[in-house]
Structure 1
Amino acid sequence: MRSRSPAAAGIAGRSAGEGNTDGTQAVRRAAAILRRIGRGGTQGASLADVTQALGLPRSTTHRILKCLVDEGLVKHDTERRRYLIGQLTYELGLTFNESALDLAKWRVVVDRVAQKTGVTAYLLSRSGIEATCVLKTEGNSVVRVIPVEVGQRRFLGVGAGATALLAALDEELRENVIKTIAPYLTAYSTLTEDKVRELVDQTLATGYSVSRGNVARDVIGIGMVVPEAPYLALSIAGLANQIEEKGVAHWAQILRQEINAVRSKDA
C-alpha cells in the first residue's frame, strides 16, 4: 500500500473559520462539526462543545447543526441535548470500499492480536490531524478496557496508536500538528505540548509508542505504525497491571510480529 501525501491527508487543511463566498466556508464548517461530533464517539457532542471547538458564534453553530440534522447527517438527542453522527452519514460510509485500507486483511490481524494478548486491539487510520479507529476486537480478559470505539476520532498524539501515527510524520509536519492540537490537550491532565514531543521521541527511539494513563486512568496502550503504510497503526490497550505483568516490550513484540507477517505476505 502506498502512503498518501500530507496534502492529500488534509494535515495542512484550513480551519473551520476560513473560507470565502463561493460556499467553501460552509462546507469546511460542516466538516469540522462532523469531525468534532465524531471525536465524541457514542457520547457525541453538545452545542457548547461544537461552538467552542469551531470558535464560531453559538447562533451560527446552531444553524449549521440544524441543517445537518434536517439532512440526516447528524442526529439530535433532545433528551441528553447531544448531537451524534446521523443515519445518512453512516449509510454513506457503507459505500466506502474496504480495499482502500485493505480492512479485510487487517481485520484478521486485529483479531489475532486480541486473541494473543487477551486485551483490546485496534487498527487506526490517520485522517488529517486526527486518528480514526477503523477496527476493534475485544480480548478475552475478564475486565475489558475500551477507551475508543470504531469510528471515534482522536487528535494525533492522544493515545498510543495516534502517537505512533504522529511520530511517522516528518518533523515539520509533526510540529505543525502539535501546535494545532495544543489548545485541546487541556482535556487530558497528563498531556502537554512538551509531553507529546517526549512521547514522540520515545516512539522514534523504540519503534513503538506507549501511553500510560494519558487517555484513561490505569490503562496502558501500545501502538506501532505500519512501515509501508504509515497512515495505519496497530495498537492494544489494557489495564496497567495486565500490561506490566509481562512488560511493555513483550506486548510490543507481538505487534511487531503481526505487522511483519503482513509485510512478508505482501512482499
Structure 2
Amino acid sequence: MDAASTATGGVPRVFALIRALVAVPAEGGRVTQLARAAGLTQGATHRLVQSLLAEGMVEQDGRSKRYRLSVDFLALAARAGNPGDLRSLCRPVLLRLCASLGDSIFLLVRSGFDAVCLDRSEGAFPIRSFTGDIGGRVALGVGQGALAILAFLPEAEREEVIRFNLPRVREYGVYDEVCLRTGIERVRQLGHADRNTGLLEGMAGVAVPICDREGRAVAALSVGTVVERLNADRMPTVVQLLKREAAALGPRINPFDATLRRPAQGLSGA
C-alpha cells in the first residue's frame, strides 16, 4: 500500500479488515464475508487482503481459499504485548512469595509428559523435592506442582498423559489409576494440589496452576516446606497467596514463548 492510499484512509480500512479477520471462524473467511464485516467493497477488501498476504500477516487455505490471520501476525502481537519470557516474568513472583512465606518456591513448566523445574527461590528451611534443583524433571502427576499442571490440561491431553504416565507413577508404589484420577478431580475442585503421599518423609507442599488465556495450565507455582509449616491453620493463607500471584501471571503469559515448547531453552543462565 503506497503513501497516498495510507493518507486517504488506508490505515482505518486495514484495521477494519484485521478486526473482521479476528472474528472469522478458525477455517477463515471469504472476501465477500470479510467485506461485509469490515464495511468495505469487495474490490477494496481483495486489494487489502493481498497486501497483507504479501507481508505474511494473512494466510490463505490452499483448498478452501479462505483467509485468516497468520501465525506470524499472532506471534508479532504476542511479542509486543509480552516482552519477557516465562522465567523472567515469574522471577519477581518467586522472590516475593519466598520473602513473604519464608519457604522454598518453585516454578514448574510442562515439557511433554513431564514437569520441569524452570526456577526456584530457596527458603529458610532445608527441603527435598521431586524435581530437585533447576532443570530437574518429574512425570506429570507426581508431586503437587506436576499434579496441578496435569489437572488443568484440556481433557484429551490429560487423558493422553494419564495413559502414558501410569506405568511411571506406579513405580512410586503408592499410586494407581484410581488414586491418580481421584487426586486430579480433587485438584480441579479446589484449584490447588496439596496431596501429601509421604513419599518424601517430613516434606509437604502445595501448588496452583498457572493458566494461559484459554484456561490451559502451562506451569505451576509450588511451595515446598516441612510438614509442620503447612498445617490446617496456615494452608489457606499459603493457597490464597499462590492463587493471587498465578491469576495475575496468567494473562501476561506469551503463548508463543519458546520456553513453553522447549523448557530447556529457558534454563540458560540459570
Asked if Structure 1 and Structure 2 have the same fold, meaning a TM-score greater than 0.5 normalized by the shorter chain, the answer is yes
Find the residue that maps to 1:211 and give its secondary structure.
coil
1:188 alignment partner in structure 2 = 172
Identity %, equivalent residues? 26
Mapped pair 1:136 → 2:120: yes
Aligned to 1:257: 244
Give the aligned residue type for 1:208.
Answer: H
Aligned residue for 2:219, secondary structure, equals strand
Q: Go from structure 1 to structure 2 and tell me whether the alpha carbon gap of 1:123 and 1:215 turns closer, same or farther (over 3 Å shift).
A: farther
Q: What's the TM-score, normalizing by structure 1?
A: 0.57
**What are the Cα deviations for residues 207-254 of structure 1, in whole angstroms up to 9, with x where unaligned?**
111130354122221111112262111111111111116332221111
What is the CA RMSD across the aligned residues, in angstroms? 2.4
Q: 2:137 aligns with which of 149, 153, 167?
A: 153
What's the counterpart of residue 98 of structure 2? 114
SS of 2:200's equivalent in the other structure is coil
Alpha-carbon distance in 1 for matches of 2:87, 2:134: 13
**1:200 corresponds to which letter in structure 2?**
I
Shift of 1:265: 7.2
Whichever residue aligns with residue 202 of structure 2, its letter is: D
Which residue pairs with 1:242 in the alignment?
229
- Structure 2 length as normaliser, TM-score? 0.56
CA distance in 2: counterparts of 1:252 and 1:181, whole angstroms: 27
Higher Cα radius of gyration = 2
- Whole-Å Cα distance in 1 between the matches of residues 94 and 232 of structure 2? 22
Matches of 1:212 and 1:156, distance apart in 2: 16
For structure 1, list consecutive stretches of 5 or more residues without a partner in the other structure: 1-98
CA distance in 1, matches of 2:110, 2:92: 20
**Residues of 2 paired with 1:121 and 1:168: CA distance?**
20
Helix, strand or coil at the partner of 1:208: coil
Question: 2:15 is matched with which residue?
Answer: none
- Name the SS of the counterpart of 2:115 in structure 1: strand
Change (3 A) 1:105 1:243: same
C-alpha distance in structure 1 between counterparts of 2:148 and 2:196, whole Å? 14
Residues 146 and 155 of structure 1: is their aligned pair in 2 closer, same or farther, counting only changes over 3 Å? closer
Note the alpha carbon deviations across 1:177-216, whole angstroms, 9 max, x for none: 1121111223323222211111111110011111303541
The alignment status of 1:219 with 2:203, answered yes or no, reads: yes
Q: Deviations over 1:105-129 (max 9, x none)?
A: 2111111111111111000110111
Equivalent residue letter for 2:116: T
Q: Residue 127 of structure 1 aligns with which residue? A: 111
Question: CA–CA distance in 2 between the matches of 1:210 and 1:186?
Answer: 19
Distance (Å, rounded) in 1 between the aligned partners of 2:152 and 2:232: 29
Q: Distance in 1 between matches of 2:248 and 2:199?
A: 29
What is the correspondence of 1:60-75 to structure 2 with a 5 Å cutoff?
none
| Cα separation, 2, equivalents of 1:183 and 1:128 | 16
Alignment length (residue pairs): 168
Q: What residue identity is the alignment partner of 1:127?
A: S
The superposition leaves residues 59-98 of structure 1 with CA deviations (integer Å, 9 ceiling, x where unpaired) of: xxxxxxxxxxxxxxxxxxxxxxxxxxxxxxxxxxxxxxxx
- Note the residue ranges of structure 2 that are not aligned, 5 or more in a row: 1-82, 254-270
- TM superposition outliers: structure 1 runs of 4+ over 4 Å: 263-266
User: Superposition pairs for residues 159-170 of structure 1, below 5 Å?
Assistant: 159-170=143-154
